Amino acid sequence: MKTLPEKGKNAENVLKELEEYARNDYEPHSKRMWGHIYYAGQKELVELARKAYLMFMDKTMLDFTTFPSLLRMEREVVGMAASLLGGDENVVGNFTYGGTESIMLALKAAREKFRKEKGKDVIPEVILPATAHPAFWKSAEYLGFKAVRSGLNDELRADVDHMSELMGARTAVIVGSAPNYPFGMVDDIRSLSDLALDSGVWLHVDACLGGFSLPFFRKLGEKVPDFDFSIEGVNSISADYHKYGFSPRGASVVLYRNAKLREGQIFVMAAWPGYPLVNTAVLSTRSAGTLAATWAVMNYLGIEGYLRLAEKMLYAKRRLIDGLAELGFELIGKPEGPVLAFTSDNLNLFQISSLMAEKGWYVQSQPGSKQLGFPRSLHFSVNPGHADVVDKFIEDMRDAVSRAGKGYPDVTSFDVSKLEIGKGDIPEDMELINELIHSMPPEVVESFFKYVINELIFRP
Ligand SMILES: *Cc1c(COP(=O)(O)O)cnc(C)c1O
């Protein structure tokens, strides 16, 4: 176990050590990552965001009365988001540190409203299409909702009829994605809105990915279904500045159709000897750096800047779809969003992902689930910078395909001792692990992960 050094080290050495630590990391700006990273590919933009971040890094968003600039910036970045998402002057919202936090707050607001109407003893239910982000399942666990999974239709969008069948007196919230993370499709928010209005339940639209990409795709002539406050039944929307808003990590927004709906989000505590604590978010003390960086990036880009970036993303997306189809990968569904996935029955996707990692590319494996009928796939979050490298990427994929085995190995023949998950190590053979995840029941995968994470990986 590493302990606090007796004597401090000089700053130069500390930084050198950190550089050494980072040696095996991917470089976030290298354009080599097709997942987890959202990057405009513009040096000036990153420099601006860093300067703005540093200017406000030491200020805290804990108490809105201390630093007036923070309140002003928050109101402005919320306004910019609301105006992109069909909001009128009644729409309100708050800056948060991520999509998960935005979703958790919206569910809390919905739960408080539900409790007022139905009493505190009824356990509220949230109906989640299979493609809804795990942040909803996590929020349900934190907030005491029962989460109910609903199916997908032929187009792999939320099956609205199935959702309708699952709804009852305990249903508090229904959810649609714009688009969903695994495949990039936008759910039929209009039909979900009709359901919500008919039954008086809360409709949340998760536009974490689409909030700052779909409006620009649409302006560029792409076919994008309606998904925002222009649809009457939409109560709240989550949208991530730190994804396609291109601000640094730690920036998202939760929006409500009107202030009445937000009431349950806000936490106030005046009954202690300290200052009255007012929280609009889950987190309390937090750096204002990401807020300032978000404000700076949005003002720097403007609609024009986002449109230019969206053009590049659409170019890279088209090249990727054509190039990978030619190599035998099968595009899943008809994704309107900036993310998409490919499946294959006869190419070993997980092995291809490992071969690409050897070439320095990050390609995200989605193991899916045999039991739940979710396909194995490779996920791609398309970034503007990918326009410059997509052709090279496809060439490297061609090589990986030619070297990879055909089809998938039989898991029962696996030598599990090869797994070698040691204390504090990140497992190396992800190919094997992904195939196991695909084949095992999800509850088994979940307990296995909890054990490994708790007992082995996160140790000092
Ligand atoms: C990323 C994402 C989230 C969760 O956001 P975090 O910022 O990772 O907390 C929720 N929904 C969708 C569709 C996402 O892509």
Residue 10 CA to ligand 1 centre (angstroms):
38
Quickly state the pLDDT bin for 417 (edges 50, 70, 90). Answer: low
Six-digit token pair at 155?
């187009």
CA-proximal residue: ligand 1, atom 8 (nearest): 99
Amino acid at 193: S
Does 422 score more than 90 pLDDT?
no
Q: What residue numbers bound the domain in which 192 lies? A: 51-296
State yes or no: pLDDT of 222 exceeds 70: yes
CATH number for 175: 3.40.640.10
Q: Is 415's pLDDT higher than 80?
A: no
Residue 56: inside a domain: yes
Q: What is the SS3 string spanning the chain?
A: CCCCCCCCCCHHHHHHHHHHHHHHCCCCCCCCECCCCCCCCCHHHHHHHHHHHHHHCCCECCCCCCCHHHHHHHHHHHHHHHHHCCCCCCCEEEEECCHHHHHHHHHHHHHHHHHHHHCCCCCCEEEEECCCCHHHHHHHHHHCCEEEEECECCCCCECHHHHHHHCCCCEEEEEEECCCCCCCCCCCHHHHHHHHHHHCCEEEEECCCCCCCHHHHHHCCCCCCCCCCCCCCEEEEEECCCCCCCCCCCCEEEEECCHHHHHHHCEEECCCCCCCEEECCCCCCCECHHHHHHHHHHHHHHHHHHHHHHHHHHHHHHHHHHHHHHCCCEECCCCCCCEEEEECCCECHHHHHHHHHHCCCECEEECCECCCCECCEEEEECCCCHHHHHHHHHHHHHHHHHHCCECCCCHHHCCHHHHCCCCCCCCCCHHHHHHHHHHCCHHHHHHHHHHHHHHHHCCC
> Residues lining ligand 1, CB < 6 A?
98-100, 133, 135, 177, 181, 206, 208-209, 240, 252
Give the model's pLDDT for residue 407. 83
pLDDT of residue 209: 98
Interval between CA 401 and ligand 1 midpoint (Å)? 30
Q: 187: closest CA among 210, 167, 215, 213?
A: 210
Ligand 1 mean position, distance from CA 417 (Å): 34
Could you say which of 247, 280, 296 is where a domain stops?
Answer: 296
Asked if pLDDT for residue 383 goes beyond 90, the answer is yes
296, 331, 348: which is the final residue of a domain? Answer: 296
Task: Band the pLDDT of 424: cuts 50, 70, 90.
Answer: low
State the closest ligand 1 atom to the C-alpha of 177, by its place in the atom list counted from 1. 13
Q: Is the pLDDT of residue 349 over 90?
A: yes
Strand partners, 378: 342, 365
| Average of per-residue pLDDT across 317-321 | 98
**What is the 99 CA–ligand 1 centroid distance (Å)?**
5
Of 414, 329, 318, nearest in space to 363 by CA: 329
Residue 451 within a domain: yes
The ligand 1 atom at the shortest distance from the C-alpha of residue 242 is 7
Residue 289 has a pLDDT of 98
Q: Which residues pair with 86 in a beta bridge?
A: none
| Model confidence band, residue 421 (pLDDT cutoffs 50, 70, 90) | low
CA of 271 to the centre of ligand 1 (A): 35
User: Averaged over 425-435, what is the pLDDT?
Assistant: 79
On whether residue 308 sits in a domain, the answer given is no
User: Which of 53, 75, 55, 54 shows the shortest CA–CA distance to 64?
Assistant: 75
Judgement on whether residues 420 and 282 belong to the same structural domain of the protein: no
Residue 396 belongs to some domain of the structure: no
Do 61 and 195 fall within a single domain? yes
Task: Let me know if residue 348 belongs to a domain.
Answer: no
Ligand 1 atom closest to the CA of 209, numbered from 1: 15
Residue 245 falls inside a structural domain: yes
Among protein residues, the one with the nearest Cα to ligand 1's atom 14 is 208
Looking at ligand 1, which residue's alpha carbon is closest to its atom 6? Answer: 99
- Segment 340-362 mean pLDDT: 96
Single residue among 261, 296, 331 that ends a domain in this structure: 296
Q: What is the mean pLDDT of the chain?
A: 95
Burial of 382 per CB tally in 10 Å (0-12, 13-18, 19+): buried
Euclidean distance between CA atoms 203 and 127, whole angstroms: 10
Domains: count for the chain: 2
What would the pLDDT profile of 2-21 be if each residue is shown by its tens digit?
999 999 999 999 999 999 99
* Half-sphere exposure at residue 63, Cβ-oriented, CA atoms within 13 angstroms: 7
| The ligand 1 atom nearest the CA atom of 207 | 13
Q: Tens digit of pLDDT for each residue in 92-125?
A: 999 999 999 999 999 999 999 999 999 999 999 9
Per the domain annotation, does 182 fall within a domain?
yes
* Atom number, ligand 1, closest to the C-alpha of residue 103: 10
Question: Is residue 127 in a domain?
Answer: yes
Query: Which ligand 1 atom is at minimum distance from the Cα of 99?
Result: 5
- CA–CA dist 135, 107 (Å, integer): 11
The atom number, within ligand 1, closest to the CA of 210 reads: 13
Residue 316 pLDDT > 70, yes or no? yes
Rounded to an integer, the average pLDDT of 74-90 is: 98
Report yes or no: 229 and 237 within 8 Å, Cβ to Cβ: yes
Residue 297 and residue 244 in contact, taking contact as beta carbons nearer than 8 Å:
no
The residue with tokens 């949005």 is 298
Which pLDDT score is estimated for 406?
A: 85
d(CA 251, ligand 1 centre) in Å: 11
In this prediction, residue 429 has a pLDDT band, given cuts at 50, 70 and 90, of confident
CA of 173 to the centre of ligand 1 (A): 18
396 CA → ligand 1 middle, Å: 29
